[in-house]
């Protein structure tokens, strides 16, 4: 069991020096100067809290408690644990209403609200489609028409029946199941942030595998938040730009590495639950919002919708911002487009970038 609590001392000459190794499509977090790092494994990744070295002495212990709470939530949300609340729900909810943990009920409510907002582009019941396309085992393939039709029958958030008074959930379709992979980390981060803020910790950054990030306050006095470098979705050693994050969250979704070609089409693992086919016209989409559950889920839904629809959605909903990365050709050259992010907060690193503010 990995448990790290230590200062980070890195060179400040290059703000990207010694950034943590990002996962696929993930941003990188700059660590110049002295920072305290608290790390715990959870949800098949590592969650980390970074704080300035001059924080109160109690702050690292508070951070550790917050990360332990994320591990508790994992025990409720994980479909890989047979004794979790969500596993019980998936086994029994087609037969009867199942009373669930309040956190599971709340996150499903949030997921349904975002499904409604995105017109169904985000859907926690889409797992059967991911299975049908072979992406669950990272071996993408084109399913037969019969397989696709059967999977679509089991998908549809509208078939989730919630009873707020009884805190129960029922499935209206027999083969339904839910998976919180596209919102669970964000919800857990929001819970941890609330614990830190309530305990008086003002300046910190917390992330889950670097694809979901929340920043509060500033990295150091005089800075406009915390700098986050966005990585090339195919060549992760290349950085496309830097965004300053303060009192908000950032999430990245994409299919830069999980895809296959079928009849000249590039088909990625982000499935549109409405059509059953891989969706989107981007390699990656990074979304900024006020809370992490929202940024996580919207990054997924708007990626599936594609850049034109994502742009319309963000422009119609103040407080959101996106950075879309599109493939120019198969040489790994990309076009980077930022929407609704102020110039002083977004610094592109290459000429192919453009802003729509």
Residues of the binding site for Mg(2+):
182, 296, 300
Exposure b/e, 99-110, CB count within 10 A at least 16 = b: ebbebbbebbeb
Contact 294, 254 (CB under 8 A): no
H-helix or E-strand spanning residue 40: strand 33-42
Query: Which residues belong to the annotated binding site?
Result: 182, 296, 300
- H or E, element range at 213: strand 212-216
H-state helical runs in the chain = 59-77, 85-92, 102-117, 127-132, 145-153, 184-198, 292-305, 307-316
Helix (H) or strand (E) holding 72: helix 59-77
Cα dist from 112 to 65, 105, 155, 191, 294, whole Å:
29, 11, 13, 19, 11
CB 170 within 8 A of CB 98: yes
Query: Can you tell me the distance from the alpha carbon of 204 to that of 12, in angstroms, rounded to the nearest whole number?
Result: 18
- Measure the CA–CA gap between 7 and 63, rounded to whole angstroms: 14
């Amino acid at each position: 069991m990995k448990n790290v609590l230590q200062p980070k001392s890195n060179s400040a000459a290059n703000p990207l020096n010694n950034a943590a190794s990002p996962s696929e499509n993930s941003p990188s977090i700059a660590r110049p100067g002295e920072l305290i790092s608290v790390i715990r494994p959870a949800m098949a990744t590592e969650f980390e809290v970074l704080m300035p070295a001059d924080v109160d002495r109690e702050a690292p212990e508070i951070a550790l408690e917050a990360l332990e709470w994320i591990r508790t939530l994992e025990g409720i949300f994980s479909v890989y644990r047979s004794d979790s609340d969500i596993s019980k729900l998936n086994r029994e909810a087609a037969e009867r209403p199942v009373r669930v943990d309040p956190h599971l009920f709340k996150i499903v409510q949030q997921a349904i609200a975002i499904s409604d907002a995105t017109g169904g582009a985000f859907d926690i019941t889409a797992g059967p489609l991911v299975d049908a396309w072979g992406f669950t085992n990272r071996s993408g393939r084109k399913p037969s028409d019969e397989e696709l039709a059967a999977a679509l029958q089991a998908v549809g958030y509208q078939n989730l029946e919630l009873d707020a008074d009884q805190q129960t959930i029922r499935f209206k379709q027999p083969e339904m199941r839910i998976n919180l992979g596209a919102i669970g980390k964000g919800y857990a981060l929001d819970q941890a942030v609330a614990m830190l803020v309530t305990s008086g910790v003002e300046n910190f950054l917390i992330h889950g595998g670097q694809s979901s990030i929340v920043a509060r306050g500033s990295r150091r006095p005089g800075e406009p938040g915390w700098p986050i470098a966005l990585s090339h979705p195919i060549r992760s050693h290349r950085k496309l730009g830097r965004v300053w994050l303060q009192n908000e969250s950032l999430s990245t979704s994409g299919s830069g590495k999980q895809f296959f070609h079928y009849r000249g089409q590039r088909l990625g693992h982000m499935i549109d639950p409405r059509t059953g086919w891989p969706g989107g016209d981007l390699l990656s989409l990074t979304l900024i919002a006020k809370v992490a559950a929202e940024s996580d889920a919207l990054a997924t839904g708007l990626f599936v919708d594609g850049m034109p629809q994502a742009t319309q959605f963000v422009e119609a909903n103040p407080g959101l911002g996106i950075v879309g990365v599109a493939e120019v050709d198969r040489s790994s050259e990309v076009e980077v487009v930022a929407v609704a992010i102020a110039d002083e907060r977004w610094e592109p690193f290459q000429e192919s970038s453009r802003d729509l503010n």
